[in-house]
Amino acid sequence: MSTRRKVLLGGAGLVALGAGGLAGRRWRLDREPDLPAPLDAQGRALWSNWAGNAHAYPVKRAAPASEAELVALLPDATTPIRPVGSGHSFTALVPTEGTLLSLDRLSGLVRHDATSATVRAGTKLSALGPLLAGIGQEMPNLPDINKQTLAGGLATGTHGTGKHFKALHGEVTALRLVLPSGEVAECGRDQRPELFHAARVGLGAFGVLSEVTLQNQPLSRVRKVVTLVDTEQVLRDWPALAKRHRNAEFLVLPFTGKSALITHDVTTEPVRPRGPDQDASTLMDLKRLRDLFEFTPALRRRAAQAAMADIPPEVAIDEGWKLLSNERPVRFKEMEYHLPIAEQVGALREVIARIERDVPGVFFPIEARIIAPDDAWLSPFYQRESGSIAVHAWYKEDHDWMFRLIEPVLREAGGRPHWGKLHSLGAAEMRTLYPMFTEADAVRRAVDPMGRMVNPFLQKLFG
Ligand SMILES: Cc1cc2nc3c(=O)[nH]c(=O)nc-3n(C[C@H](O)[C@H](O)[C@H](O)COP(=O)(O)OP(=O)(O)OC[C@H]3O[C@@H](n4cnc5c(N)ncnc54)[C@H](O)[C@@H]3O)c2cc1C
């Protein structure tokens, strides 16, 4: 039985505690959030992101099947023109009342050599794994899920974890993008370098990416281990753990005193495939614990600890692209900031304390990861090793507490927000957080002088 399954069943402790007077009591309504109407007054269909917190009624939707179609479409497209990937960003980067542009049909391998591959920008990370494995390559690192498109992931600085691993854009060596005018621009370190530095993490504001060249590594096998540990212990050992393992992250389970430590290390051991995904059942377990004991934190902690006692580590061994990403089928809303590494543990302690003191409704884990520095101008990891902290709320429940209680802590610690996750910042703050922000914005204005790709959210970001 896997770690997560045992948590699901709750063990004798949880069941016994739940059988008392508190059992069956419901603290809040469990209902779907209100969505806008499927069609607006003009008959335009609703677009909504994965989390259901960003919406729009685009006047036109397009999915070009070739770069030539994209080139023909852009000069006269109704504005704002907004490219969309898999819609997995939580911020309103995509919504448009103009043209919504999907690259779903621009997917697959263009060419490759011994260590790198050029792929169409609409390729989903889930397709990229097997595609690269077929030529003996893999991306050195991957994010927590692989549902994103490559272009969408790059545009927001999407990252995994690992002291020596950059975010996805850190391995990009060349970009091909179609500018709003229809001009096709190729860029790399030696070709239009300013466009390359600005557009690698480009928020879909510099044009529409059509191809990306990735520096890859030979296919390798990793051993994934998920262990339940005391939160205090992992906080103490984190710098050593991050150094010891190829990839390390931990998920603090608030109100339990426990965390799930996840590590990946290269191995030559025989394959041991991962078991069925338990994410949904584990989260619903944590929710049940919350529902029962929300107003009695001591009991909630005791019940959790009883339920999680003696759970063995979960181990899987396979190629990295099969293990580094997860399913995450339960919808949520998320805020993540990237802090100077020295600030991470202190800020995390404060985040845990605030949640456990003031927001008993939280049952989703708090996630901590580490990311190597890079030199893309709008990268949240620009020239600094970063420790990330992410908080989550179930999609049906309120998340205002993130802005009220958590964001001030992350900002105070010098954090830069994930471009695709909830934050409240605008141009003034970005200018102080990003040393090359003004230069990046100048490049953006040069390639899109009429602001044809700017929606209200980008207007706030760029000013
Ligand atoms: C369940 C879940 C797990 C996640 N896990 C992680 C994680 O582990 N690490 C992490 O860093 N983030 C994570 N994220 C955030 C996610 O990786 C980013 O928000 C990412 O940008 C989503 O990619 P997408 O393809 O859905 O792009 P979208 O959200 O559709 O778009 C994102 C941006 O990309 C632009 N874009 C899309 N296509 C193009 C194109 N062809 N050319 C130019 N611009 C384009 C859009 O205009 C927009 O600005 C997670 C999100 C969810 C919902």
10: confidence class by pLDDT, cuts 50, 70, 90: very low
The CA radius of gyration of the chain, in Å to the nearest whole number, is: 22
Inter-axis angle of helices 279-293 and 11-18, to 10 degrees?
40
Helices (H) and strands (E) in the chain, counts: 16, 20
365-409 pLDDT, tens digit per residue, is 999 999 999 999 999 999 999 999 999 999 999 999 999 999 999
Phi, psi of 34 (to 5 degrees): -70, 125
**402 and 282 in a common domain:** yes
Mean pLDDT across the stretch 209-237? Answer: 98
**372 and 257 in a common domain:** yes
Mean pLDDT across the stretch 325-335? Answer: 96
Task: Give 168 or 27, the one with higher predicted confidence.
Answer: 168
Asked if residue 22 has pLDDT above 80, the reply is no
Asked if residue 21 has pLDDT above 70, the reply is no
152 CA from centroid of ligand 1 (Å): 4
Q: Mark which of 181, 196, 218 sits at the end of a domain.
A: 218
Cβ atoms of 230 and 305 closer than 8 Å: no
Cβ atoms of 316 and 273 closer than 8 Å: yes
Mutate to test the pocket of ligand 1, among 69, 104, 156, 337 (most ligand atoms within 8 A of CB): 156
Cβ atoms of 419 and 88 closer than 8 Å: no
Domain of 261, CATH number, reads 3.40.462.10
Asked whether residue 397 is assigned to any structural domain, the reply reads: yes
Q: How many domains does the chain have?
A: 3
278: confidence class by pLDDT, cuts 50, 70, 90: confident
Mean pLDDT across the stretch 154-168? Answer: 98
Asked whether residue 36 is assigned to any structural domain, the reply reads: no
Percent of the chain residues past pLDDT 70, beyond the cut: 94
- Residue 80: domain span: 47-102
Looking from the CA of residue 204, the nearest atom of ligand 1 is 44
Asked whether residue 182 is assigned to any structural domain, the reply reads: yes
Cβ atoms of 48 and 94 closer than 8 Å: no
Mean pLDDT across the stretch 226-244? Answer: 98
**132 and 67 in a common domain:** no
Phi, psi of 85 (to 5 degrees): -100, -110
**195 and 173 in a common domain:** yes
274 CA from centroid of ligand 1 (Å): 25
**303 and 213 in a common domain:** no
Asked if residue 9 has pLDDT above 90, the reply is no
**157 and 66 in a common domain:** no
**334 and 382 in a common domain:** yes
SS (H, E, C) 379-441: CCCECCCEEEEEEEEECCCCCHHHHHHHHHHHHHCCCEECCCCCCCCCHHHHHHHCCCHHHHH
**407 and 361 in a common domain:** yes
The predicted structure's pLDDT at residue 42: 96
Mutate to test the pocket of ligand 1, among 66, 67, 73, 84 (most ligand atoms within 8 A of CB): 84
122 CA from centroid of ligand 1 (Å): 11
**258 and 186 in a common domain:** no
Q: Mark which of 203, 218, 233 sits at the end of a domain.
A: 218
Inter-axis angle of helices 11-18 and 297-308, to 10 degrees?
150
The predicted structure's pLDDT at residue 458: 98
Task: Give 16 or 359, the one with higher predicted confidence.
Answer: 359
318 CA from centroid of ligand 1 (Å): 26
Ligand 1 cavity residues, CB under 6 Å:
50, 82-89, 93-94, 103, 121, 143-145, 148-149, 151-153, 155-156, 158-159, 203-204, 208-209, 328, 418, 420
The predicted structure's pLDDT at residue 27: 55
The predicted structure's pLDDT at residue 125: 98
Asked whether residue 29 is assigned to any structural domain, the reply reads: no
Phi, psi of 226 (to 5 degrees): -115, 120
Mean pLDDT across the stretch 158-186? Answer: 98
The predicted structure's pLDDT at residue 35: 87
**128 and 243 in a common domain:** no
Q: 3-class SS at 89?
A: coil
**229 and 209 in a common domain:** no
Task: Give 3 or 119, the one with higher predicted confidence.
Answer: 119
Asked whether residue 434 is assigned to any structural domain, the reply reads: no
Output DSSP code: residue 98: S
Asked whether residue 317 is assigned to any structural domain, the reply reads: yes
CA distance 363 to 214: 37
5: confidence class by pLDDT, cuts 50, 70, 90: very low
Neighbours of 310 (CB within 10 A): 7
289: confidence class by pLDDT, cuts 50, 70, 90: very high
The predicted structure's pLDDT at residue 337: 99
Asked if residue 171 has pLDDT above 70, the reply is yes
Cβ atoms of 221 and 197 closer than 8 Å: no
**368 and 256 in a common domain:** yes
16: confidence class by pLDDT, cuts 50, 70, 90: very low
Token digits for 377? 């101008």
The predicted structure's pLDDT at residue 23: 41
Task: Give 79 or 280, the one with higher predicted confidence.
Answer: 79
Asked whether residue 39 is assigned to any structural domain, the reply reads: no
414-440 pLDDT, tens digit per residue, is 999 999 999 999 999 999 999 999 999
The torsion of the CA quartet 177, 183, 189, 192, rounded to 10 degrees, works out to -150
Cβ atoms of 418 and 157 closer than 8 Å: yes
Mutate to test the pocket of ligand 1, among 89, 177, 453 (most ligand atoms within 8 A of CB): 89
Asked if residue 4 has pLDDT above 60, the reply is no
Select from 146, 116, 152, 154 the least CA-distant residue to 132: 116
Domain of 71, CATH number, reads 3.30.43
Task: Give 410 or 278, the one with higher predicted confidence.
Answer: 410
CA separation (Å) from 402 to 197, 335, 350, 457?
A: 31, 7, 13, 19
Domain of 201, CATH number, reads 3.30.465.10
Asked if residue 310 has pLDDT above 90, the reply is no
Cβ atoms of 177 and 387 closer than 8 Å: no
Asked whether residue 365 is assigned to any structural domain, the reply reads: yes
Token digits for 410? 């992350």
94 CA from centroid of ligand 1 (Å): 10
